[in-house]
Copies of this chain bind each other. A is one copy, B any other.
């Protein structure tokens, strides 16, 4: 970015440009995304666009960045809640979060996914996954006792990558799955498997003893 938009007006300008970018990408696809079109859609001149974005890629990068920040925040925010929750609930929460993040603003999500490679934002995207995986790895380490995991960060990588791919593929190819509880359950099983948990039907945790009290509640 050429200038950092500190003033209110600049921020608004940058925002409207990013919005326009998203709109065009979603509605008309990558090939329709020209700088001139974006500027016009944002009600701004091309020249102004180039005041804040050094080139077209920066524009898209800006869009993706915002999108990713948003997602990261939501997922990282899960952390604390997971800390003390029973395993089954924690896993359920992770899966639910993954699915709901995907459902949210699905069209933009979809467009971005389809164009990620083009933008060279793949690495950037991976960084997102990494941050989430780090949080997850920490949690795994924390709860090591209850789990059966050799390498927490590897397990976290596998879980995050799989959930990511599954929600994305579902979004792109089988959107109905995003609403399906059966799908959610299958994902929970996958996660449980990665964590070395025994396959409890439903969400029943393996340590009957520990959980008993709670169920009694």
Residues of A within 8 A of B (CB): 30, 113-118, 122-123, 126, 148, 150-151, 154-155, 157-158, 161-162, 164-166, 169, 172-174, 177, 182-183, 185-187, 189-194, 196-199, 201, 206-209, 211, 214-215, 217
Contacts and interface: CB of A to CB of B under 8 A. Distances in A.
Contacts of A187: 158
A174 to B, nearest CB: 8
Contacts of A155: 186
Nearest to A185: B150
A26 to B, nearest CB: 14
Interface of A is mostly: helix
Contact of A164 (B113, B165, B182): B165
B161 A169 contact: yes
- Number of chain copies forming the complex: 4
Contacts of A126: 169, 172-173
Contacts of A117: 30, 113-118
Nearest to A211: B198
A166 to B, nearest CB: 5
10 contacts: A117-B117, A126-B172, A150-B186, A158-B166, A161-B169, A162-B166, A193-B193, A198-B198, A198-B214, A208-B215
B150 A118 contact: no
A177 B151 CA distance: 13
Contacts of A201: 148, 196
A13 B117 CA distance: 29
Nearest to A166: B161
B217 A190 contact: no
